[in-house]
Structure 1
Amino acid sequence: MSHPLRSQMVDLLAQAPSTATELARRLGVTSGTTSYHLRELEKAGLIIDLRDHGTGRDRVWFSPFAARNYGWSDLESMGATGGREYRHAWLDLRFRSAAEFQDRVARGEEPEEWRKGPVDVNAMMRMTSEELRVFTQEMQELMARWITRRDLVKGAESDTRVVDVQFRAFPVALAPQSASRDDGRDDVRGS
C-alpha cells in the first residue's frame, strides 16, 4: 500500500467513480499502470468495482472511503515501514490538496461563492485523553451526518462540488521537563 500512486488513486476514487483509463489520464501514467494498482487496491479492500456502471471491458472503480476514519493505532497495524510510508503519502496528499486550493484562490480561479465558505483552522487545546476521545468522536459524528447527505457515486447536482474536509487531532510531543520556579509553578516561557 506504500506506493504513492495508490493513495492518489484512492483519493480520486473517493471523490467520484472512474475507469483505469480515466485515472491514467488524470495521473499522467499508462492505463496498464493504473489497472495493476487498481487490482492491488481491490485486494486490500480499499476500492470496489461498480459492476453495474461499467460498459463492456471498462470497469468502473470507486472508493467507499469518502471519510477515512483512521485512528493512529489502526495505521500502526499496517506495519512499521508500509504503514509509515502510506501515512506520509496520505498526509502529503491532504496538505497538497489544501495548498492547491489556496493557489487557485490566489490566481482568481475559484468563483466568489466558493471562496466564502472554506476555512483553514488550527488550534492548540489542552485536553485529557478522555476529552480528546470525546472531541474526536463528536467531530466524526458531525462529519458522518454531512457525508450521508449526498451520494458521491450517483453524481452531483450542478451547484455542488466535492469538498475535502480534513480533521486531525493528536497530542503534541511531550516537552522536556521545565525548570521549576521557587513558587512551585512550572516555568512556561512565552506566557
Structure 2
Amino acid sequence: MTDTRDDGRGRREIRALDSGALRALAHPVRVRLYDILSQQGPQTASTLAAMTGESSGSTSYHLRALAKHDLIREVPDRGTARERWWERPSGGVSFPGPDTLRTPAGRAASQVVMGEFLERRHEQLMRFVGSTLRDELDPWAENALITSATVSLTVEQLGEVNARIQRVIDDVVDEYRIDPNAEPTPTADRRIVSLRAEAFPITTESD
C-alpha cells in the first residue's frame, strides 16, 4: 500500500516504513490524525481534537508518538509554545515492507494500519455517495468516477497493470500538485480530491 503527498516541486520520494514506524502508526487514532494531516494540511492538537472528538491531551500524545518516528513534523516558524502546528512531510510512504512481513508483530501492525486507512477511505466514499443521492445536478457528482472491472491476469500482468495505474496517478499529481505554501482549504470551485486505485486477486469461495 502506498500513500503519497507531493511536495509541490515535482519530487516524489517514497519512504518504506520500517517495523518501528509501522508499529507507531498502528493505532486507530494515529492513523486518523496522520490521514487528516495528509488530506487537510497542517493542524494543531486542538483543531485535531475538534475534528476527531478526542481530547487535546490525547491528540498531543499521539502526535508526539508519530513525530518520534518522523511520520509527522512540527511546522517551522509557526505556532507558540502553547500551540504547536504539525504537518505530514511531503513524499509518500509504502508498507508493508519485507522486514515487517518477517515477524508476526510486523504483519499484525500492517493489518491494523491498512485496515484503518481503507476503512476511512470507504467512509469518505459512502459519505460522498449519500450526499450525491440527495443533491440534484451536482457537477462534482457528475464528474466523479466510481468504477470496477474484473479481468484475468498473470502475476506479471498484474504488476504491469498496477505500474500503469501508478504512472497515471503520478502524472495527475505532477500536474495538479498542491501548493506547499498554501493550506489545501476547499473552496466553492476547488476541493481536495481522493485518487484511489485497487487491483488485486480475488479470493474465491473455494480458496
Q: TM-score, normalised by structure 2?
A: 0.73
Deviations 1:11-70 (CA, angstroms, capped at 9, x unpaired): 110012111111100111111111111111112332222213434532222224676554
Root-mean-square deviation (CA), in Å?
2.8
2:107 match: 80
Residues 162, 199 of structure 2: 8 Å contact kept: yes
Query: Retained in 2: the 8 A contact 1:14–1:66?
Result: no
* Divergent runs of 4+, >4 A: 65-75, 174-177
Question: Residue 67 of structure 1 contacts residue 147 of structure 1 at CA under 8 Å; is this kept in 2?
Answer: no
Q: 1:61 is paired with a residue of what secondary structure?
A: strand
Q: CA deviation at 1:146?
A: 1.9
Greater RCO (Cα-Cα under 8 Å, separation 6 or more): 2
> Cα 1:45–1:169, aligned 2, differ >3 Å: closer, same or farther?
farther
State TM-score, norm by structure 1. 0.78
Paired residue secondary structure (1:91): helix
Mapping of residues 170-185 of structure 1, within 5 Å: 170-173=200-203, 176=206
State the number of aligned residues: 176
User: How do residues 42-121 of structure 1 correspond to structure 2 at under 5 angstroms?
Assistant: 42-64=67-89, 69-70=94-95, 76=101, 79-108=106-135, 112-121=138-147
CA contact (8 A) 2:95 2:110 kept: no
Q: 1:73 to 1:166 in 2, by over 3 A?
A: farther
Residues 121-178 of structure 1, C-alpha deviation per residue, up to 9 Å, x if partnerless?
A: 111111111111111112112212222323264134842111112112111226649x
Which residue number in structure 2 is paired with residue 186 of structure 1? none
Checking the alignment, whether the CA contact within 8 Å between 1:51 and 1:59 is kept in structure 2 is no
Distance in 2 (alpha carbons) for counterparts of 1:56 and 1:34: 16
1:29 matched residue in structure 2: 54
Larger Rg: 1
Contact 1:6 1:37 in 2 (8 A): yes
> % of aligned pairs identical?
29
Question: Letter of the aligned partner of 1:105 in structure 2?
Answer: T
